[in-house]
Structure 1
């Protein structure tokens, strides 16, 4: 990274306005997951709906002044993405050995990945505000079909699925080990313990959903069948097909709600 890029990132992070906008991104992410969790629970109970982020944005669009809310969500999510991008640029090695450099690049990749995810969600929110009505499952199948048509596409799709699966496992581990405490100043007392419980449940539930998405992409890569691929909605449908499926899907939906509330608290207590 050039000094000019790093200086720009430091200047951005020192801005109070930028920090406030980035914190609003956590709240926006919480609202999206709250709606997502509600949709998943409804689907588990027999209702119809797209149980993914696109479905959540579409639900907002149907509400009074929903387009205005979508633009606010877009601004917050993109700002949070830019914050993570700045964190990726400013990532430092905790030492001077090879292990320290590996940790620095691991952090840089992690922050860069989160930057891409939140920026994409912000763009999706803006697109829905402008009238788009995307379908997450069709998009996942279409992207998978496109990847499988190129040379080595099955390997690429398999690696994407592996990456998402590893991301899901990391969420589960963060939930069990409560390592999210490193990113949030949890207040003391029963109130803080309640936030911790929400974080544990939420991270594990989201991790489970991501692992299933990774498995679906892996199966699509092995069978060369893009219709097997899917996003969060596909993961919910996979759970519903299992024994006690509605209970399992409902539990994941409740976990998303817990994660949503945790994100709302994170908007206040995140270390930034």
Structure 2
């Protein structure tokens, strides 16, 4: 059993998988960049779906769309495997509390990139669905289940807290510890500024999603729980919402650029 585990660890830490996993960060950056563009389009009165599904749909209509989708799918699968490997094999030298936190973070990241991969594969195979409706349907089904209301409130709170954590990382610049920063002062400043703006914007967007889930659950209006796309469109309807939405869009574009930079500079 130990020999099998050692072989699995060696494979998941191989150079080819590392290169593919780094490409996964770039894919995440591209998706966030596209979500940001859609958000700005919505702020200007246009149409679109400002979430991962919408970004993947935008990618699908580009020249060589199927090739782009399957390449992005492979990169996200590789990064999900890499993060799973970190959750299983890494951080064992750390104190228990820190080790558990690091492993849990890696496991959650693996789930996120696996979800990206599933969305990419779904659109590539023509099985994509309306994410807004599926989110509302999931909320309805959970509210009907025993303990479902409490679970939804917990999920909403978890998403909101995650948003706050992202915002704090942006303000404190703690994301820098995950990078091998460039030696040039101008490049270091650029990476830091883009990362700060991106993390704060993503944190704000996640906070909105979490609060909307909680509000929709508490007021028994599951149709209002519509994920990131619905949250950003709800923001647009608020006073000065158009400007806030445009700012979030710019911030998500910055986060996308940061993730593309992370593909090159990340400590793996």
- Which TM-score bucket, shorter chain as reference? over 0.9
1:142-221 superposed matches below 5 A: 142-188=137-183, 189-221=185-217
Does structure 1 conserve the Cα–Cα contact (< 8 Å) formed by 2:119 and 2:128?
no
Does structure 2 conserve the Cα–Cα contact (< 8 Å) formed by 1:154 and 1:224?
no
CA distance in 2, matches of 1:193, 1:261: 14
1:221-260 superposed matches below 5 A: 221-260=217-256
**Against the structure 1 CA distance between its residues 245 and 8, is the aligned structure 2 distance closer, same or farther, given a 3 Å change threshold?**
farther
Deviation at 1:223, TM superposition (A): 1.8
Instruction: Note the aligned Cα RMSD (angstroms).
Output: 1.5
Deviation at 1:108, TM superposition (A): 1.5
CA distance in 1, matches of 2:12, 2:174: 23
Deviation at 1:90, TM superposition (A): 2.3
Select between 247-256 and 128-137 the one with higher mean Cα deviation. 128-137
Deviation at 1:231, TM superposition (A): 1.2
Does structure 1 conserve the Cα–Cα contact (< 8 Å) formed by 2:139 and 2:152?
yes
CA distance in 2, matches of 1:82, 1:144: 29
2:259 maps to 263
Deviation at 1:3, TM superposition (A): 4.3
1:125 partner SS = helix
**Against the structure 1 CA distance between its residues 6 and 110, is the aligned structure 2 distance closer, same or farther, given a 3 Å change threshold?**
farther
Deviation at 1:214, TM superposition (A): 0.5
Q: Deviations over 1:135-183 (max 9, x none)?
A: 2211211111111110110001111111111111111111111111111
Tell me the number of residue pairs that the alignment of Structure 1 and Structure 2 aligns: 267
1:93-108 superposed matches below 5 A: 100-108=95-103
1:86 maps to 85
Does structure 1 conserve the Cα–Cα contact (< 8 Å) formed by 2:33 and 2:252?
yes
CA distance in 2, matches of 1:137, 1:176: 31
Deviation at 1:224, TM superposition (A): 2.3
List alignment gaps of at least 5 residues for structure 2: none
What TM-score, normalized by structure 1, do the two folds share? Answer: 0.94
**Against the structure 1 CA distance between its residues 4 and 231, is the aligned structure 2 distance closer, same or farther, given a 3 Å change threshold?**
farther
Moved over 4 A (4+): 2-6
